[in-house]
Amino acid sequence: MTTTFDPTLYLPQLARIREIIPMTAREKFFRLELQKPLNHRPGQFVMLSLLGVGEAPISITCGPRDDTTLEMVIRDAGSLTHALHATKPGQTLGVRGPFGSGFDLDELRGKAIVCIVGGLGLVPMRALIQAVLAQLDAFPSLTIISGCRSPAEELFRDEMRALERLGDSNGKIRVIRLVDRTDHLPWDGRVGLVTAPIAEVPLDPENTRVALCGPPVMYKFAIMELKSRGIPDAHIFVDLERRMKCGVGKCGHCQINQVYCCQEGPVFRFDRIAQLPEALL
């Protein structure tokens, strides 16, 4: 049997930085101009490279689109991301991908969507949120529960506020914003754990699909709350953050037992990984 070599798996396309916007003390928003459309699904990621420095997996934070724009949020957390934070509009980066499974919109369409995110989890989840908003008539409702440690760490604040106002007018969208603590900063949302509002959200177990993305401890308690509301494992999707290295299932760096997160994830239906204890660590 012969296999066809796909150079897009290994050779990056060049992308020009169009815009960089500081979001918090540690995160910056990047808008890139690609050479060709990415044709990605919500939840997929790319391998982003800076010549002479290295390459790292970065979540895609924009919904599917036909143009050549790519949006990402990058946290300054290592040598490569620190170098990326020092780049300027007009500079060139390398982009491989998209990689991973992502969310299947055909499977979600017609269902009430609940997105529960913690901290940086809003970055990949924004891609799903934008995809649902683009086809809002095909979904009964969209609920977003977004939590972070303090107001200084909240991402996409203006967008979340705009969705709150939109929900007030159309009744299909509900946004609940929380922080663990205010740190004496101005705050117009709630204070508490991101799992707390699950008890008050209307949930029809048969016709609701829940997407989770955040720190591992959030998954454990969010899933406990969802199961107490009757949501089956097959209706829960988890977006797992793993340190991908190659993106093509060769290095084994993101392997969870027999599962390769870079190819079969990072989005998993929970019933698929419920018996893999390492998955949510």
pLDDT of residue 46: 94
Tokens of 92: 């060139």
> Once rounded to an integer, what is the mean pLDDT over residues 211-229?
93
DSSP SS3 for 245? coil
Please tell me the class of the 105-280 domain. alpha beta
- Contact indicator for 118, 148 with CB cutoff of 8 Å: yes
Position with higher pLDDT, 160 vs 11: 160
pLDDT band for 217, please (50, 70, 90 cuts). Answer: confident
Unique residue bearing structure tokens 């391998």: 47
The burial of 35, by beta-carbon neighbours within 10 Å (0-12 exposed, 13-18 middle, 19 or more buried), is given as: exposed
* Of 3-12, 106-115, 236-245, highest mean pLDDT: 106-115
Distance CA(244)–CA(239), nearest Å, equals 14
Position with higher pLDDT, 258 vs 23: 23
DSSP SS3 for 117? strand
H/E run at residue 224:
helix 216-228
- Contact indicator for 274, 241 with CB cutoff of 8 Å: no
Q: Per-residue pLDDT for 279 more than 70?
A: no
pLDDT of residue 273: 80
Distance CA(228)–CA(86), nearest Å, equals 46
pLDDT in tens, 42-71: 999 999 999 999 999 999 999 999 899 999
User: Which of these ranges, 68-72, 197-201, 244-248, 267-271, has the smallest mean pLDDT?
Assistant: 244-248
pLDDT in tens, 65-96: 989 999 999 999 999 999 999 999 999 999 99
pLDDT of residue 2: 43
| Phi, psi at 255, each rounded to 5° | -70, 135
pLDDT of residue 253: 63
pLDDT in tens, 117-166: 999 999 999 999 999 999 999 999 999 999 999 999 999 999 999 999 98
> Once rounded to an integer, what is the mean pLDDT over residues 188-200?
95
Unique residue bearing structure tokens 């939590």: 147
Q: Per-residue pLDDT for 204 more than 90?
A: yes
Taking the domains of the chain in order of start, what are their residue ranges?
7-98, 105-280
Task: Tell me, yes or no, if the two domains 7-98 and 105-280 fold the same way.
Answer: no
pLDDT of residue 167: 81
Cis check for the bond before 98: say yes or no (omega within 30 of 0): yes
* pLDDT-above-70 percentage for the chain: 88
Question: Quick one: CA dihedral 129, 106, 243, 221, positive or negative?
Answer: positive
- Contact indicator for 116, 212 with CB cutoff of 8 Å: yes
Please tell me the class of the 7-98 domain. mainly beta
pLDDT band for 243, please (50, 70, 90 cuts). Answer: low
The burial of 165, by beta-carbon neighbours within 10 Å (0-12 exposed, 13-18 middle, 19 or more buried), is given as: exposed
This prediction's pTM: 0.91
3-state DSSP of 162-176: HHHHHHHHHCCEEEE
pLDDT of residue 252: 64
pLDDT of residue 280: 66
pLDDT of residue 242: 59
> Once rounded to an integer, what is the mean pLDDT over residues 240-265?
66
**Mean of the per-residue pLDDT values for the chain?**
89
Distance CA(23)–CA(153), nearest Å, equals 8
